[in-house]
Structure 1
Amino acid sequence: MLKLEDLNVYYGGIHALKGIDMEVEENKIVTLVGANGAGKSTTLRTISSLVKPKSGKITFNGEDITNLKTTEVVKRGITLVPEGRRVFANLSVLENLKLGAFLRNDKSEIEKDIKYIYSLFPRLEERTEQMSGTLSGGEQQMLAIGRALMSRPKVLMMDEPSLGLAPLIVKDVFNIIKEINKEGITVLLIEQNAQAALKIADYAYVLETGKIVLEGPGKELASNDEVRKSYLGEN
Structure 2
Amino acid sequence: MLNIKGLNVNYGGIHALRDIDIEVPKNKIVTLIGANGAGKSSTLRSIMGIVKSSGTIEYDGKNIKDLKTKDIVKEGLVLVPEGRRVFQDLTVEENLILGAYTRKDKKEINKDLNWIYELFPRLKERIDQKAGTMSGGEQQMLAVGRALMGRPKLLMMDEPSLGLAPLIVKDLFNIIKDINKMGVTILLIEQNAKAALEIADYGYVIETGKVVLKGRGKDLCENDDIKKAYLGEEAV
Same fold (TM over 0.5): yes
1:129 has 2:165 as partner: no
Match of residue 14 from structure 1: 14
Unaligned runs of 5+ in 2: none
Per-residue deviation, residues 183-219 of structure 1 (Å, max 9, x unmatched): 0000000011100000000000000000000000000
Distance 2:136 2:63 in 1: 37
Number of aligned positions between the proteins: 234
Distance 2:151 2:157 in 1: 15
TM-score by length of 2: 0.98
Match of residue 96 from structure 1: 95
Match of residue 37 from structure 1: 37
TM-score by length of 1: 0.99
Distance 2:232 2:159 in 1: 18
Once the two structures are superposed, the pairs formed by residues 55-66 of structure 1 within 5 Å of their partners are 55-66=54-65
Distance 1:41 1:99 in 2: 23
Once the two structures are superposed, the pairs formed by residues 112-127 of structure 1 within 5 Å of their partners are 112-127=111-126
Query: Secondary structure of the residue that 1:152 maps to in structure 2?
Result: coil
Distance 1:3 1:59 in 2: 5
Per-residue deviation, residues 61-91 of structure 1 (Å, max 9, x unmatched): 0000011000010000000000000100000
Q: CA deviation at 1:52?
A: 1.2
CA RMSD of aligned residues (A): 0.5
Distance 1:21 1:200 in 2: 21
Once the two structures are superposed, the pairs formed by residues 41-56 of structure 1 within 5 Å of their partners are 41-53=41-53, 55-56=54-55
Query: Secondary structure of the residue that 1:168 maps to in structure 2?
Result: helix
Distance 1:207 1:232 in 2: 15
Query: Secondary structure of the residue that 1:165 maps to in structure 2?
Result: coil
Distance 1:230 1:172 in 2: 25
Identity %: 68
Once the two structures are superposed, the pairs formed by residues 1-235 of structure 1 within 5 Å of their partners are 1-53=1-53, 55-234=54-233, 235=236
Distance 1:75 1:175 in 2: 27
